[in-house]
Amino acid sequence: MSKTDYEDVERGDAVVPGRPVKVHRYSGGARVNHWITAICLVLLALSGLSMFHPSLFFLSALFGGGQWTRTIHPWIGVVLFFSFFGLFLRFWSANLWKREDSQWIAQANDVVSGHEEKLPEVGKYNAGQKIVFWSMSTLIIILIASGIVIWSQYFGSYTTIQQQRWALLIHSIAAVVAICVWIVHVYAAIWVKGTINAMTRGTVTGGWAWRHHRKWLRELVSMRKGKPTGTTTHTTHST
């Protein structure tokens, strides 16, 4: 069976029969990678906001004061870049845009109202998750590129003051947008019950997968039974 038959399945994804059915969604390595990235984002947001406006300078106390904040902030950014790069390599293929994603976006009202039975079946990630993934991928590239330009300790001699000013403006705007995207991501994870468990324990119930990511679950069941994804298969969806 070719990889394209199971385009939404990633390494480690599997269905485990039982009561309830368990579905392995994230490996231990993926979860560690995710939480390192999340912690870096929080630390960068707090340290960055402390330098963003005088009224937020009190946040620098979390990092030992203004000087330490300016020193630590860019190094956390470096860790974030490599950590997110690890996530990107793991998840980019399952986040490619599909036809059903456009339909999912068109039915955004059903998403908000909780009428998921009216939505098209989606793979491991829905359109909203994919938008967050590609938005963060783009924003982190912008942040690291602009951050290098304004990292005067190491790169100040390679850029002009005018370039640094533009880079600082771009960096600030991208950071604010990234914080907003991160807030949406966290809110959605809390809103959809069971999502946080997936990234802490690595598994979800069959019922959760059936309700939120039915196409992905069908592919996993097909893999287990050695059938093409187009074959009709009975799926247990216990909650």
In which residue are the tokens 């247990």 written?
236
Cα-to-chain-centroid distance, residue 177: 15
Q: Which of 144, 151, 167 is nearest to 82 (CA)?
A: 144
**Catalytic, out of 185, 213, 234, 237:** 185
Helix boundaries (H) for the chain: 28-52, 66-91, 99-106, 108-113, 127-150, 152-155, 161-191, 195-200, 206-212, 214-225
Q: Which of 176, 151, 159, 157 is nearest to 71 (CA)?
A: 151
Side chain identity at residue 159, one-letter code: T
> Is-catalytic flag, 185?
yes
State the pairing for strand pair 14-16/203-205.
unpaired
- Which tokens hold the place of 166? 């533009």
Query: Which sequence positions are flagged as catalytic?
Result: 185
